A and B are shown apart, each in its own frame.
Chain A
Amino acid sequence: MYLLPTFRILVLLLVALPLVSAAVVPLFGRAARRAALLLALLHAGVTAAVVAGALPALNQRGENVPPGRDFAFQKFTPEFVPGDPGVSDASTSTHRTRWTLLNLGDAPPDRAGPRIQFYIGVDGLNVWLVALCSLMVIPAILVSWEAVADRPGAFYGWLFVLQAGAIGAFLSFDVILFYAFFELTLIPSFFLIGRWGEGPHRRDAARTFFLYTLGGSLLTLVGVVGVVLTNPLPDGRFTFELPELMAAVQRNLGGAFAEFLRTGDGGPLAEKQNLQFWLFLCLIAGFMVKAPVWPFHTWLPAAYREAPIGVTLLLSALLAKLGTFGLLRFVLPLTPDAAVAYGLPVVGVLAGIGIVYGALCAYAARDIKMMVAYSSLSHLGFLVLGILAFNREGLSGATLHMVNHGVSTGALFALLAFLLDRYRTTDMRQYGGLTGRFPRFAFLAFVLCFASIGLPGLNNFVSEMLMMAGLFDARNPGVGGFGYAVVAAVGIFLSAWYVLTMLRRVFFGPVVEPPPAVAGPVHDVNPREVVALGGPVAVCLLLGLVPQVLLNPMKADVAALAEVGDAARDRVAGTAPKFEDGLPAGTITPARKNP
């Protein structure tokens, strides 16, 4: 494919462009918002090109998934890696990079070794999340249009840094590089909340957010380094390349398991699995804080409340997804046995509590902004359950749900900007009967609320059903019954409960409105808001009607991950791998009997 080098440059641009934008935007002064919008649109164009280029490759991979009986070498394969050694002849791809940032030892350049690299690429798991990052910045800028008058240049600059951090983290295939991008998002969030926040406690909120997530992610760093040090390559070297590291973990555990099956001595395997448990705890800490999973959510209410609405939008749409994506990309492949053994029983229980707890808090919240914030906690609990089910349905559903939830929750926050611009409050006690007052706004609000409660035809339904199927098909040893599925279903019901209660208070009944923020008549949605809200509405509808477009490209990567899970289930249960006979060649699913 002669276009390969072009796409590698475009992938690099995905990260570089926001950084450049961040540097350039402040120069525009008063016109910063216009410049920011143009740059965001340019980025969306780049993303569209990358997606268009990646889809054929990813779809093809999905159709030609190898039967995958060799569990030892299931690994991620990024496409369009900038600095790919194959760039010299421009037609082949090695899915690796030569761009080393820091060499920690000597290793031949064509072999994996102890070096930190600028290793980014596109695969089925991150391609849509990058698209989400690219798209949701546009409404974030549009809803800040009027609201941010104070030093807009710096504001939009930090917004772009945030975008760069998130995109970088999604694209990274080097564990340390991921960590760096993951932390990079903290700095802009800190300044955006602390400097442009709306509440009196914004500095406290920013500080809590910063400390909390930093604390969690430091533990994650310990876990990452621990995984690297305990899983050397066959030649004894260490590696930070995620695909190689993933394969090394498989080999390491698989070897011990094979020995157990041969000799009956489970000692080495048990030792490795014990170690995995601690590494699992460390790894997941940062992601549980970021997602957040109950009870590590305590930074969330304050941060979401105090942040300016455009930033809240990005926090919920993008940053929360970093946490769940971390589970998918790092925790599951690097500590699969612990994820199978302790994922649902420990983290899953917390997530389940979070589903109900978040829903209850959302119902009791008087402020619509807080309601959406808590609903996010509830929905993300379901998402975490879907991931931890660790099978094809759950993983596909969760990956899709990250995008779906990003769009619909982000758009719900964008809705609130409409009210904030006009009345400076989102307290639902001060509103009533808005359907008659602002019919167009009400229409958009109803569609987005329906999307949020998982109505069919809109986006969240599809991913929720997939995750539900994942929970019904969860074969993790020790997980009996359908308790998690029931909790998830209750969560879906509760979401209707609080959202409809909010709709009744705010959109039904006689018209009630607080004193307007600006003099003069208050109008229904203006063209800028039509774009900021209508865009997500259209995306919600589209994703609900043709979700398979998103599911096909992720098939191969989900399959790889699910195979890792299947192997881990066998190891945890201590049973030799079993396959159903008569598997047609080329089938993705070596479906296994229940252990």
Chain B
Amino acid sequence: MSEPLLLAFAVLGLLLGATVLTALLSLSAGLKRFAHLPLVVACGASAVLAMILVGRVQAGGSAPRFVSDPLTWFAAGKLTVNLTLAVDPLAAVMLATVTFVATWIAIFSSGYMRDDHGGPDRGYVRYFAVMSLFVFSMCGLVLANNFLLLVGFWEGVGVCSYLLVGYYYDKPAAAAAARKAFLVTRLGDTGFLLGIFLLWRLGGWHTDLTALFDHIQKHPPDTASLTAACLLVFCGAVGKSAQFPLYVWLPDAMEGPTPVSALIHAATMVTAGVYLVARCAPVFALVPDAQAVVAWAGGITALLAAVIALTQTDLKRVLAYSTVSQLGYMFLALGTLGAISPVFAVTAALFHLFTHAFFKALLFLASGSVMHAMGGVIDMRRFGGLRRVMPVTHLTFLCGAAALAGIPLLSGFWSKDAILEALKLGGESAHPYAGAFHVLLLVGLFTAGLTAFYTFRAYFLTFWGPTRIPEEAGHHAHESPAVMTGPLLVLAVGALAAGAVAGPLTHWFETFVGRTPSLQQAAAVVGMKAPSHAFDWGLAGVSTLLAVGGVGLAAVMYARGRPAKVPAGLEPVVALSRNKLYVDEVYEAALVKPMAGLAVAARVFDLFLDALSRLLASVPRFLGGLVRPVQNGLVQFYALSMALGAAVLVSFVAFRITR
């Protein structure tokens, strides 16, 4: 086995070991307070290994891909499901991002998951066991080279998300959110499964990604079937990555502990859908219709979520909708993969994923730090002016917010710019949906302005104006301990510099990820080379103006730390935004209620059938009652009836014979 694969297996082994070890700690009361150690150590070691892995892959020739020998999980007939891993630049970058961010979040968690007296929280062991299982599953998802194995890890991260959103199990809101998160993503997964099997059928009965893509490239199936397969696979991505129309679970998922939101619902798991489409680029490259759907889903989501985020008062929810919106950006880029070069489009999406992981994890952890200090209160109407109380949290939050808003030279600026550029080039291409990309470019630019506005609205409401602290905070209202601020500082550096270092300064990210064989394969399918990356000053200028404008508007309206008055005439729009466009209510009325009603109807009908069958059961008793008088005990009667019966029988037989 080659060295990169060994490293990949070592990462998975470490994390699985951490899961098992943490679970075993629950058996001993004395060791419970050390439950964070396995995760922290395993994540840290994995991050180091993943970075070594990136180096090894970089040195791995012109088409670096290392596929492990298949080991059969199950097979029958034409379906063979192998346990295989594949390491290529795409996977290596993703793995490094996931483990790096997870390490700092794990450290942060050990400070965050405390009860009122600073001791470990009641579910400390459970928390870290599930977190370990999550990081393991996520890394497995990144490395899997078989569709059903990928589904395995895919559902694994889903279950961990379910368990962690429902971590505070006695809170009804958390219980409802956990169920909703699982069910909505599962709805997407239903399509995903069907899509996998359709691909299996179209792709020469392969389930290994590499073999499947090779087969499809050599024997392209008819476009209609392939479009259907791609759209079904995309359903899974829509569910997991919280895209329209299945994004509704993500804001509710904020009921979980904040580090969970940072890791799972911002930096890693929700990007799985983006990663999936990036992985399947060789298939998506063949079908323009599916690309257009991806782009539109991304565009609609980006705009919709940004509009909702404008008026939310819960700090974590603002960030949650912002995540939904940013994921929409990534899909916007992916949607252009057939119009411009897939290498460029996927690299742009992945680059945004990479920078987003830093600044969004940072923003969530910082808001977690706020929540920790505020005694669990996260409603921005109830606190304000915290910049003096929590200086480190304030500064790091500012770094994250600026990066998210796309302030020039920070991480978010570079990656967002790449996406907008992809859309611009897509609009200029000969793609059948080139017109749509023009529209989507405008959507992207407008959303960029909104993003800057709502991000800084949240920032000003939380940290500016007179200091206000809710009574729940009690004596907690002070800066968080070093175990929490440390990770914030590290991630802040990432939010400021990661984009510039990996992007324009070195062009490392695009050259490295661009060498991914599957992307090269997709490029060969489309027949396009990556456009030379000339920085587009005009586009960058417009987006900078929008970002600065958004921040300025937010400063004008909210710098006093108080919600501004709504201008007359805009009230309906604001109400629409505040009520999240009534999407939840529409789903409730159109889907949830009718299904429940149907269920009750079916049950009532079945009770009716039950009654019928009880009637059937009484037939013997009834018949018994009917013939009971015949058993009258008179021997003569018996003899007579016997004789009569025999006569009937004999005459019948005689009749049959003589006929």
* A residues in contact (CB < 8 Å) with B: 201, 204-205, 207-208, 211-212, 295, 298-299, 301-302, 357, 360-361, 363-365, 374, 391-393, 396-397, 433, 435-436, 446, 450, 455-457, 461-462, 465-466, 468-470, 472-473, 482, 485-486, 489-490, 492-493, 496-497, 500-501, 503-504, 507-511, 547-548, 551, 555, 558, 562, 589, 591
* From B79, B171, B600, contact of A393 by CB (8 A): B79
Known: A364-B602, A489-B190. 10 other contacts (CB 8 A): A207-B618, A211-B620, A295-B609, A360-B601, A465-B193, A468-B197, A469-B77, A472-B200, A473-B77, A485-B197
Tell whether, in the assembled complex, residue A509 and residue B170 are in contact, meaning their CB atoms are under 8 Å apart: yes
Q: How far is the CB of B90 from chain A (nearest CB, A)?
A: 23
Given known A-B contacts A364-B603, A507-B169, A302 and B613 have beta carbons under 8 A apart:
yes
Closest to B592 in A: A497
Say yes or no for B575: interface residue by CB 8 A criterion.
Answer: no
Q: Among B79, B170, B600, B618, point to the contact of A466 (Cβ < 8 A).
A: B79
Q: What mask results when residues 589 to 623 of chain B are scored 1 for a CB within 8 Å of chain A, else 0?
A: 00000011011111100100110111011111000
- Does B399 count as interface, using CB distance less than 8 angstroms? no
Of B103-111, B149-157, B529-537, B563-571, the one with at least 4 CB within 8 A of chain A = B149-157
Contact present for B77 and A497 (CB under 8 Å): no
Bound Cα distance from A508 to B182, whole angstroms: 15
In the complex, which residues 63-99 of chain B have their Cβ closer than 8 Å to any Cβ of chain A?
Answer: 72-79, 81
Instruction: State whether B200 touches A469 (Cβ < 8 A).
Output: yes
In B173-217, which residues have CB < 8 Å from any A CB?
Answer: 174-176, 178-179, 182-183, 186-187, 189-190, 193-194, 197-198, 200-201
Q: Which residue of B lies closest to A503 (CB)?
A: B179
- B497 touches A (CB below 8 Å): no
B466 to chain A, nearest CB (A): 38
A473 to B198, CA, bound (A): 10
Contact across chains for A472 and B198 when beta carbons are under 8 A apart? yes
Interface CB pairs A-B, < 8 A, 22: A212-B616, A301-B606, A360-B598, A361-B599, A363-B599, A364-B596, A364-B600, A392-B76, A396-B77, A397-B76, A433-B170, A456-B151, A456-B153, A465-B193, A472-B200, A492-B193, A493-B186, A496-B182, A504-B176, A508-B170, A509-B172, A548-B73
- Contact: B77 with A548, CB < 8 Å? no
* Interface core residue of B74, B148, B153, B595 (most chain A CB under 10 Å): B74
Whether B159 sits at the interface, judged by CB under 8 Å, is yes
B166 within 8 A of A: yes
Q: Report which of B156, B186, B595 forms a contact with A456, defined as CB distance below 8 A.
A: B156
Distance of A510 Cα from B617 Cα, bound (Å): 42
Asked if A465 and B81 make an inter-chain contact with CB atoms under 8 angstroms apart, the answer reads yes
Q: How far is the CA of A167 from the CA of B612 in the complex (A)?
A: 32
Whether the pair B170, A299 counts as a contact (CB closer than 8 A) is no
| Contacting residues, chain A, for B179 (C-beta < 8 A) | 500-501, 503-504
Q: Which chain B residue shows the least CB distance to A457?
A: B152
Could you tell me the distance in whole angstroms from the C-beta of B628 to the nearest C-beta in chain A? Answer: 18
Contact in complex: B190, A396 (CB < 8 Å): no
| A374 proximity list for chain B (CB < 8 A) | 606
What CA separation (Å) do A206 and B78 show in the bound complex? 44
Q: Chain B's nearest CB lies how many Å from the CB of A470? A: 8
Which residues in B have their C-beta under 8 angstroms from that of A462? 73-74
Q: Give, as a whole number of angstroms, the nearest-CB distance from A315 to chain B.
A: 16
Q: Compute how far the CA of A211 lies from the CA of B81 in the bound complex, rounded to whole angstroms.
A: 44
Of A212, A435, A470, A589, the contact of B613 (CB 8 Å cutoff): A212
In the bound complex, CA of A489 to CA of B595 (Å): 17
Alpha-carbon gap, A374 to B171, bound state (A): 29
Contact B77 A360 (CB under 8 A): no
Evaluate contact between A361 and B606: CB separation under 8 angstroms. Answer: yes
Given contacts A547-B74, A551-B74, contact A508 B617 (CB under 8 A): no
Give the shortest distance, in Å, between A507 (CB) and chain B (any CB): 7
Q: Which residues of B contact A507 (CB under 8 A)?
A: 169
* Consensus secondary structure, chain B interface: helix
**Cα distance A510–B173 when bound, in Å?**
11
Distance of A504 Cα from B169 Cα, bound (Å): 9
B169-A473 in contact (CB<8A) = no
List residues of chain A with CB within 8 A of the CB of B77.
391-393, 396, 469-470, 473, 562, 589
Interchain CB contact (< 8 A) of B148 among A207, A450, A465: A465
In angstroms, how far is the closest chain A Cβ from the Cβ of B194? 5
**Distance from B591 Cβ to chain A, minimum over Cβ atoms (Å):** 11
CB distance from A385 to the nearest CB of B (A): 14
Quick one: closest B residue to A201, CB to CB?
B614
CB pair A208–B602 under 8 Å, yes or no, is no
Q: Is the CB–CB distance between B201 and A473 below 8 Å? A: yes
| Inter-subunit contact B194/A500 (CB<8 Å) | no
How far, in Å, is A474 (CB) from chain B's closest CB? 11
B620 adjacent to A360 (CB under 8 Å): no
Residue of B nearest to A554 (CB): B76
Complex: A524 Cα to B153 Cα, angstroms: 31
Is there an interface contact between A509 and B76, defined as CB atoms closer than 8 Å? Answer: no
B175 & A301 in contact (Cβ 8 Å cutoff): no
**Considering the complex of A and B, which 5 residue pairs feature the smallest CB-CB distances, nearest first?**
A392-B77, A508-B175, A456-B152, A396-B76, A364-B603
Check B73 against A204 for contact (C-beta < 8 Å).
Answer: no
- The reply to whether B610 and A465 contact each other, CB–CB distance below 8 Å, is no
Please tell me if the beta carbons of A486 and B170 are within 8 angstroms of each other in the complex.
Answer: no
A562 to B76, CA, bound (A): 11
CB-based contact A211/B616 at 8 Å: yes
Cβ 8 A contact of A504, one of B163, B175, B602, B618:
B175
Q: Is the CB of B618 within 8 A of A204?
A: yes
Is A298's CB under 8 angstroms from B610's CB? yes
B186 near A496 with CB under 8 A, answer: yes
Q: Is the CB of A551 within 8 A of B75?
A: yes
Residues of B within 8 A of A470 (CB): 77
- Given the known inter-chain contacts A472-B198, A509-B172, please indicate yes or no for A298 contacting B612, CB distance below 8 A: yes
CB distance from B227 to the nearest CB of A (A): 15
B73 partner residues in chain A, CB cutoff 8 A: 462, 547-548
- B600, A435: Cβ atoms under 8 Å? no
Q: Which residue from chain A places its CB closest to the CB of B176 in the assembled complex?
A: A504
Bound-state Cα–Cα, A190 to B564, Å: 74
| A contact residues around B613 at 8 Å (CB) | 208, 212, 298-299, 302
Collect the chain A residues with CB atoms within 8 Å of residue B163's CB: 446
Tell me the complex Cα distance, A15–B292, Å.
63
Contact between chains at A485 and B194 (CB < 8 Å): yes
Please give the distance in Å from A520's CB to the nearest CB on chain B.
24
Q: State the CA gap A335–B318 with chains docked (Å).
A: 63
| Residues of the A chain whose Cβ atoms lie less than 8 Å from the Cβ of B79 | 393, 465-466, 469, 473
Q: Which residues of B sit under 8 angstroms from A496, Cβ to Cβ? A: 182-183, 186
The residue among A433, A473, A551 with the most chain B CB atoms within 10 A of its own CB is A473
Whether A436 contacts B603 by the Cβ 8 Å rule is no
Q: Are B187 and A436 in contact (CB under 8 A)?
A: no
A302 contact set on B, CB distance < 8 A = 610, 613-614
